[in-house]
Amino acid sequence: MGVETLREADDGPRSKRAAILGAAVEHFGEVGFEATKWSEIAKHVGIGQTALYHYFESKAHCLLTVMRIGLHNSDEAFRAATADAPSAHEALRRAVRSAYEISDLEVRQNRILQANIALLVSERSSEREEAERLACRELVARIERNWTELLRQGMDSGEFARRDPQLLARTLLGTIVAVWRWYRPGGETGLEAICELVTHCCVRIVTP
C-alpha cells in the first residue's frame, strides 16, 4: 500500500516527515490513536522506530501536528471558497461545499480531529506538543470567527435571520463536522449527497 503524504513548505526533499504524517493519518483514522503503535508507523514508512524521533518526539506530538494541518487546510479552504461570493447565501453554500470537497486522506484527518478534540483542552508538558496544541486552538478560534463573520454579514444585509452569530456559527459547524464521526469513503452515502443535505439544512437554519 502506498503512503499518502502531508508535505509542508519547510519539508526538505529527503525529509520523511510528510510520509510519517501520512502513515499516521492512515493508522489513526482507521484503528484510532490509542490502538496504533508507534512502531507500526515506522514500519509503514520503511524506517527504524528511532528515526521517528528525529521528526516527532512522541506519538501525541505527531497526532497534534496532524490535527493542526487539518485545521489549517479547513481554514484555507473556507477563505478561498468564500472570497468572491456575490452574496452571503452563496458564501454559505460555498463554505459548506468546501468542507466536503476533500480527499480520502483529508476525510481521515477530520475523523482524527473529531475523535481527539479533547486533547486540545489541557496544557501539554512537552514544549513541542504544547506549541502544536496552541496552534490548533488558535485555528479552531479562527475558523469559528470566519463563520461568525460570514453570518453577521448575512444578518446585516438582511439575508439571514437576526440571531446570535457566534452561537449560530457553532451550531452550523457542529452540523458540518458531525459527519466525520460516522462517514467512511466508499460507503452507501457519498459526500456529494451529504453535502447537498447539510447545505440545505444550514440554509434553512439561517433563512428568516
1-20 residue pLDDT tens:
334 446 665 656 678 888 99
CB 100 within 8 Å of CB 199: no
pLDDT score for 187: 86
> Under 8 Å CB-to-CB from 11, ≥6 apart: which residues?
17, 18
* Distance between CA atoms of residues 153 and 81, nearest Å: 16
| pTM summary value | 0.91
Question: Angle CA(177)–CA(182)–CA(187) in degrees, nearest 5?
Answer: 120
| Cβ burial, residue 180 (10 Å; 0-12/13-18/19+) | buried
| Overall CATH class of domain 59-206 | mainly alpha
pLDDT score for 2: 38
> Which stretches of the chain drop beneath a pLDDT of 70?
1-13
* Distance between CA atoms of residues 201 and 92, nearest Å: 11
What's the one-letter identity of residue 66? V
CB 196 within 8 Å of CB 178: no
Q: Is 126 helix (H, G, I), strand (E, B) or coil?
A: coil
Residue pLDDT, tens place only, 125-164: 999 999 999 999 999 999 999 999 999 999 999 999 999 9
pLDDT score for 1: 34
The DSSP element (H or E) to which 185 belongs, if any, is: none
pLDDT score for 13: 66
* Distance between CA atoms of residues 160 and 92, nearest Å: 10
DSSP conformation letters of 39-57 = HHHHHHHTS-HHHHTTT-S
pLDDT score for 186: 87
> Under 8 Å CB-to-CB from 184, ≥6 apart: which residues?
none
